[in-house]
Copies of this chain bind each other. A is one copy, B any other.
Amino acid sequence: MSDWTYDLWCIPTADPGDVSGLRSRLAHVPEYEVLAIMGKTEGNGCVNDFSRTLAATAYGALFADTDKRPLLIMSGGTAGVLSPHVTAFVRRPRRSDDRPGPALACGAARTPDIPKAELGRMGQVEAVGRAVLDAMADAGIEQPRDVHFVQIKCPLLTDADVVAARQAGVALATDDTYLSMAYSRAASALGVAVALGEIDAAALTDDDICENWALSSSVASISSGAELLDCEILLMGVSTQVAGPLTVAHEVMENPIDAAAVVRMLESVGAGFPMTDTGRKRIRQIFAKADPAGTVRGRRTTMLNDSDIHSTRHARAAVGGVIAGITGEPMIYVSGGAEHQGPSGGGPIAVVAERSA
């Protein structure tokens, strides 16, 4: 049996640097330990989004004196009705009156540093694959089918990396630093798919990465950043070894307006549409990937050729509207950049909710 019981706290923020809500909550329940913080910050969610760094700086400072700093995943972009917030993944020692499992279990793991020549390639796929298995073990989850969301933060190539590789005569997956973010996300997503048996590792090659979009994971959610050299994995699933009040489920949205997938997911945790206030209160948080699409259910959209608004901002705004329309809650996690994370134009979606009676 696991020694831990897990919870999720979804806390509104007044600005990217606002840590007051979480600080206040922690002061009231000191028995909780924060494993990870996933934030939606209010920048553009693209290259020059400094709201992410500001949030990471502020939350880093909040935990500066703790032994174990939580994993910080700041995702920019609150287009449309999306509301800035942080979700804290927390745990406390198990109590005798905790409801027996299967319940929500969270696990964490890290890969070794990814060699630059392996970034965006099979080496990264395999390293992530192994770390996903570690995170499953950490969470006390045995079956891949019990894994419902795998959030990964992965490194990228810098200008210095490109220069060094050139001098060393090493060919990288790409010499374009911005593109390296996509390659790193792609390899990480395929690593999840390999670890969970969603795709056949033996048939996979470097050429599939960022190319063969038929391959994807239904539970991977990846972001890349300049502040780390390894990959950090946060995994959610259900475990019979864990006691607690929460559960998690997931679905795959086939396109940005696949409300049916959202409803199926909600029904699988005992909620549905139209939602009642009781149903709403049971939901802790929803996590979704949004992917731009030039065509949605046969209709042309203008996301991909709007030179004023980045395509990912269009996609987040639309997907946020679809989900918030169903749940009545705009304070949800919707993130862009979905290479090999669900089908092209769609993406994985997960919900953490109170277990039904």
Contacts and interface: CB of A to CB of B under 8 A. Distances in A.
B321 A53 contact: no
A124 interface: no
A199 interface: no
A146 interface: no
A46 interface: yes
A263 B274 CA distance: 9
A165 interface: no
A191 interface: no
Contacts of A81: 256-257, 293, 296, 299, 301, 303, 314, 318
A259 B314 contact: no
A305 B54 contact: no
Interface in A287-311: 293, 296-297, 299-303, 305-310
A330 B259 CA distance: 13
A63 interface: no
Interface string A35-49: 000000111101111
A19 interface: no
Given A54-B53, A318-B321, A321-B322, A83 B299 contact: yes
Given A178-B305, A296-B330, A308-B310, 17 more contacts: A15-B50, A15-B53, A17-B57, A42-B50, A57-B58, A81-B301, A81-B318, A82-B301, A83-B300, A84-B300, A259-B326, A296-B324, A318-B318, A318-B324, A319-B321, A321-B322, A325-B325
